């Protein structure tokens, strides 16, 4: 599979803060690539570097097999982007905004094409309406139309569902899936919600404090084989000691509570073994290990080890 984006040892230093730290990843043709991390993880900074809004302190970015630093215009001709809020010219109509950005993208867009784009995002009937009268969701959809008007190969969406209601989020999600499945676009989408990325991305990366924590296929990273099982017993201390002397010792995680990283399918066997060891079980909870890991990133501060799949 050919790589569309290749990022290698990318870093960005803002005065005393290292926003992105030695980051490397690859986005392949046709991927919907999820860019996940809490606020301040370095997602937006990385996306801004991919779009040449800010210059990297170190590292290389190659898009469409061309170096961004030397082939900026040629690359950006094939890229469409929505960066955070879809800020457009509020005093202009939806049609005028789309027309302006189509021209800036280097294409001569006919009225039919522009109306088609507005139709696609459900704004054809508001083509002449000024953007200042639009809701957040309408602005977001217009922002996506602007990003798509020149039919780019690569689409970069930075938190495109921010501030949208559930219906708006579902609309954007469906649009992204259509762009990927029906039109074969390569999409890089950032979010701070794992559940959102899980629904649309085929590959993803998790960033924390500018560093890569994990990267891979969503189906593998969220495989039930990597479940976190949490047990509550009548005597957790005693139960832990007994587990450490059993075949389950390797799966036991550090911490106060009893947590085991294991295949969900093996839970009946675990319960049977614990009963055999005279451990009285009060409750068993299962969640995906990556989900727990991601949750821990958003709650803890300080040093965090990369996720071991």
Partner 1 sequence: MWNLLQIELFKISKRPRTYIAFAAIAAIVFIFQFAFKADGQSYMNLMLQSVKDSFEFERTKAINGYFMCYIILNTLLVQLPILVALIAADSISGEANMGTLRLLITKPISRTQLIIVKFAAATIFTILLLVWMAITSLFFSLFIFGADDMLIFRSKGDESQILLISKDDVMWRYLAAFAYATVALTVIVALSLFLSIFADNSIGPIIATVCIVLVCTIISNINVPIIDKNVRPFLFTSYLVGWKGFFYIATTEDGVPIKGSVENWAAIRNSLSILLLHIGVLLGASVFVFRKKDILS
Q: Under the rule (CB under 8 A), what is the footprint of partner 1?
A: 48, 51-55, 72-74, 76-77, 79, 81, 83, 85, 87-92, 96, 100-101, 103-106, 146
CB of 100 vs partner 1, minimal distance in Å: 5
As measured in angstroms, the least distance from the Cβ of 79 to partner 1 is 7
Q: Beta partners for 260?
A: 229, 252
Answer for the pair 271, 239: CB distance below 8 angstroms, yes or no.
no
Q: How many residues does the chain have?
A: 309
HEC states along 163-227?
CCCHHHHHHHHHHHHHHHHCCCCEEEEEECCHHHHHHHCCEEEEEECCEEEEEEEHHHHCCHHHE
- Comparing CB distances to partner 1, the nearer of 34 and 56 is 56
Nearer to partner 1, 79 or 274 (CB): 79
Bridge-based pairing state of the strands 186-191 and 32-36: parallel
State the minimum distance, in angstroms, from the CB of residue 216 to partner 1. 28
- If the CB atoms of residues 93 and 263 are measured against partner 1, the closer one turns out to be 93
In the complex, minimum distance from the CB of residue 87 to partner 1, in angstroms, rounded to a whole number? 3
Q: Judged by CB, which is closer to partner 1: 91, or 237?
A: 91
If the CB atoms of residues 99 and 253 are measured against partner 1, the closer one turns out to be 99
Q: Which residues contact 225 (CB under 8 A, 6 or more apart)?
A: 263, 264, 265
Shortest separation between residue 106's beta carbon and partner 1, angstroms: 6
Please say whether the beta carbons of 32 and 200 come within 8 A: yes
């Amino acid at each position: 599979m050919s790589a569309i984006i290749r990022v290698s040892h990318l870093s960005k230093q803002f005065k005393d803060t290292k926003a992105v730290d030695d980051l490397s990843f690859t986005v392949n043709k046709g991927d919907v690539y999820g860019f996940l991390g809490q606020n301040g993880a370095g997602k937006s900074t990385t996306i801004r570097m991919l779009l040449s809004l800010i210059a990297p302190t170190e590292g290389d970015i190659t898009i469409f097999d061309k170096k961004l630093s030397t082939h900026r215009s040629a690359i950006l001709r094939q890229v469409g982007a929505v960066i955070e809020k879809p800020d457009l010219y509020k005093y202009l109509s939806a049609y005028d905004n789309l027309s302006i950005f189509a021209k800036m993208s280097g294409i001569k867009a006919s009225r039919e094409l522009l109306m088609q784009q507005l139709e696609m995002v459900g704004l054809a009937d508001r083509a002449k309406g000024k953007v200042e009268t639009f809701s957040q969701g309408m602005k977001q959809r217009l922002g996506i139309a602007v990003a798509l008007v020149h039919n780019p190969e690569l689409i970069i969406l930075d938190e495109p569902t921010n501030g949208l209601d559930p219906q708006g989020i579902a609309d954007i999600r469906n649009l992204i899936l259509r762009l990927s499945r029906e039109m074969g676009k390569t999409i890089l989408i950032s979010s701070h919600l794992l559940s959102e990325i899980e629904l649309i991305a085929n590959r993803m990366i998790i960033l924390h404090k500018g560093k890569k924590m994990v990267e891979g296929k969503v189906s593998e990273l969220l495989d039930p084989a990597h479940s976190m099982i949490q047990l509550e017993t009548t005597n957790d201390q005693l139960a832990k000691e007994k587990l450490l002397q059993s075949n389950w010792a390797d799966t036991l995680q550090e911490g106060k509570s009893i947590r085991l990283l294991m295949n969900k399918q093996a839970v009946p066997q675990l319960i049977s073994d614990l009963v055999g060891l005279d451990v009285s079980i009060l409750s068993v909870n299962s969640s995906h290990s990556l989900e727990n890991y991601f949750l821990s990133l958003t709650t803890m501060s300080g040093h965090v080890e990369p996720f071991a799949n």
